[in-house]
Structure 1
Amino acid sequence: MISILILISELLHRVLLLSGSGLSPWAIQRDPLAVKRAVAEHTGCHGDLLEDDLAPCLRLKSLDQLLSVKVESPRFLPGFAPFVDGTILLNPSTNVPVTSDGSASSTVATSAGFELADFPERDLMFSLTSTESYLDLSAQDLEFGFNESRRDRILRTYVRNSYYYHLNEIFSTLKNEYTDWERPTQNPLSVRDAALDVLSDGHTAAPLIRIGYLHSLRGGKTFFSIFITKLENGIFQW
Structure 2
Amino acid sequence: MRQRLMVIHGRSSLTLFLVRSSLSFFLSLLFYSLIFIDSFLKGLFHRGIMMSGSALASWALVNDANDVALQVAQAADCVHLVGDRSDSETILNCMRDAPLERIEQAAAKVGRPATFRRFRTTFGPSIDGVVIRGQHLSSPSSSSSGPRKRSEDGRPTYDCLFGVSGFESTFQLSELASEQGLDGVERDLLLRAFVADTYRYHQTEIFLTLVNEYTDWERTTQHPVSIRESTVEALSDGQFVAPAILLGDTLTSPDRNSYFYVIDPAVTQVIVFFL
| Band the TM-score falls in, shorter-chain normalisation | 0.7 to 0.9
Q: 1:3 to 1:50 in 2, by over 3 A?
A: farther
Q: Is the 8 A contact 1:120 1:216 kept in 2?
A: no
**Which of the two has higher C-alpha Rg?**
2
Alignment RMSD (CA, Å): 2.9
Structure 1 counterpart of 2:246: 210
Aligned residue among 201, 219, 232 for 1:196: 232
Q: Supply the distance in 2 between the matched residues of 1:141 and 1:64 (Cα, whole angstroms).
A: 37
**CA distance in structure 1 between the aligned counterparts of 2:238 and 2:160, rounded to whole angstroms:** 21
Q: Does 1:114 align with 2:148?
A: yes
User: What residue is the counterpart of 2:170 in the other structure?
Assistant: 134
Is residue 109 of structure 2 the alignment partner of residue 76 of structure 1? no
1:29 matched to which residue of 2? 62
Deviation readout 1:187-216 (Å, 9 max, x if unpaired): 000000000000001011111111112322
1:20 maps to 2:53: yes
1:174 aligns with 2:210: yes
Match 2:193 to one of 140, 145, 157: 157
SS of residue matched to 1:74: coil
SS of the equivalent of 1:25 reads coil
Q: Percent identity?
A: 32
TM-score between both structures, scaled by the size of structure 2: 0.68
Cα distance in 1 between the residues matched to 2:45 and 2:90: 31
Whether the aligned pair in 2 keeps the contact of 1:36 and 1:49 (CA below 8 Å) is no
- Deviation string, structure 1 residues 54-73 (Cα, Å, up to 9, x no partner): 66554545554444422233
Counterpart in 2 of 1:39?
72
| Count of equivalent residues | 216
Distance 1:116 1:139 in 2: 42
Q: Which has the higher contact order (CA 8 A, sep 6+)?
A: 1
Trace 1:84-123 onto structure 2 (pairs within 5 A).
84-92=127-135, 110-114=144-148, 121-123=157-159
In the alignment, structure 2 segments of 5+ residues that lack a partner are 1-28, 138-142, 267-275
- Quote the offset at 1:154 in angstroms: 1.4
1:3 aligned onto 2:32: yes
Q: Aligned-pair distance for 1:18?
A: 2.2
Worse overlay, 148-157 or 23-32:
148-157
* Higher normalized helix content (fraction of residues): 2
Shift of 1:50: 7.7
Task: Provide the secondary structure at the position in 2 that maps to 1:52.
Answer: helix
Alignment match, 2:13: none
Secondary structure, counterpart of 2:252 in structure 1:
helix
TM, length-normalised to structure 1 = 0.77
